[in-house]
Amino acid sequence: MHVDMDAFYVSVELLKRPELAGRPIIVGGLGGRSVVLSASYEARRYGVHSAMPMSQAFRLCPQAVILEPHHEDYRDVSGRLMAIFESITPLVEPLSVDEAFLDIAGAMRLLGPPRAIGELIRKRVASELGITASVGIASTKFVAKIASTRSKPDGLLLIPRDETVAYLHTLNVSALWGVGAKTRESLARVGISTVEDVARTPVSVLKRLLGATGEHVYELAWGRDPRTVTPVRREKSIGAEETFARDVSDDETLHTELLRLAHKTAVRLRAAGLQCRAVSLKLRYADFSTLTRTRTLREPVDSAQLIYEESRALLAALGPRRMSVRLIGLRTERLEPAEGAAVQLTLDGRDDNWRSAEDALDKINARFGELGVMPARLLDPARRGRSGRTSGRTGPPPEESS
């Protein structure tokens, strides 16, 4: 079973603003480089979709109401959503904050057939969370995901095992995982446009056309997907990034933003009980070219100050920049459990002091709100080059500066 919330961010925002139901809603910032995080189905009718620049979205749908995102609310609702799933079956594989795969084979003995379980989940999500879910049920993960997508919004589609191939063969080739625009063009050149066309094409021909992907799409075209639901997936990396409202060329602004990203990342590391053995820096320049650099650490860390120092060293090692910076990102990698990990401290206790201070910040902010207490440097108005936020407004976002 694949369960996916309908316009999740919008739905959570409407819990606080029910009077806006039925209107075109866009969740996102109003900065010149902000993008759409979520759009209501009313806004989608005008062509608005996630990841679209806000300026473009407003041109398509000028009457839309733009709401500020509240990520803490989304995390809270997501946690309650996953708890509903886990009350049905322990075999839950979250894909994001608002969707997951569920293996319900064991639950059928207690809760009845698949459709009944799907309807039970939809009913509980609606009554306990106040939002709607779409459910796809099939014998494989791939087909279940297709079914949930085609049941949106607020629906359920079950594709029986013995009808899987016949159903798939009615679909366009773009329904297959791994078939993007370029792959679709390659297939179209030889007259392959549907899933059935793929299924009727010899694997050897598909491999010549697509390389290793050829065998993959062939198997999917016959409904074969051996992957099982994986309940626990350790995060491979944790990080954050920021796109500036205006390109940045001075080191001071970049350093301040790195410090903010380091604190945001370290909080997530500690909340997950993890430490990192590598830090990665990402820069996107004004011409959209992107550069990444990674440094392996001598000892695992979860301190924002130490992560900041490593990322700043990576930035310095790049030398003089050839142009201004559009985006900066920081990511921690090679994660491992923090519990029982040996930590090498400096003789003067500097590392231990930072870690103790950040532990105190975690406790304060857990009680009074995320980043309610922060390093004084992050209060500097100069860093407000980042995109602004506006709540519940209509009106065009500012155009991106030239």
Q: Residues annotated as binding site for Mg(2+)?
A: 4, 98
Q: Which residues of 119-128 are buried (b: 16+ CB within 10 A; e: fewer)?
A: ebbbebbeee
Which residue out of 99, 242, 310, 333 is catalytically annotated?
Answer: 99
Encoded tokens for 28:
């996102």
Question: How far from the centroid of its chain's Cα atoms is residue 377's Cα?
Answer: 29
d(CA 101, CA 230): 9
Q: Which residues pair with 255 in a beta bridge?
A: none
What is the distance between the alpha carbons of residues 387 and 401, in angstroms, rounded to a whole number?
A: 12
Q: How far is CA 98 from the centre of its chain?
A: 10
Query: How far, in Å, CA of 215 to CA of 311, rounded?
Result: 41
Contact 399, 391 (CB under 8 A): no
Query: Dmax of the chain from CA atoms?
Result: 70
Identity of the residue numbered 17 = R
Which residue shows structure tokens 């057939």?
113
Structural tokens at position 98: 């608002």
- Distance CA(6)–CA(19), nearest Å, equals 18
Q: How far is CA 243 from the centre of its chain?
A: 16
The tokens for 56 are: 């473009």
Which amino acid is residue 290, in one-letter code?
T
Q: Is 99 a catalytic residue?
A: yes
Q: Could you give the CA distance from residue 155 to residue 329 in angstroms, rounded to a whole number?
A: 38
Whole-number Cα distances in Å, 239 to 263, 307, 391: 10, 11, 26
- DSSP three-state, residue 228: coil
Hey, which residues are catalytic here? 99
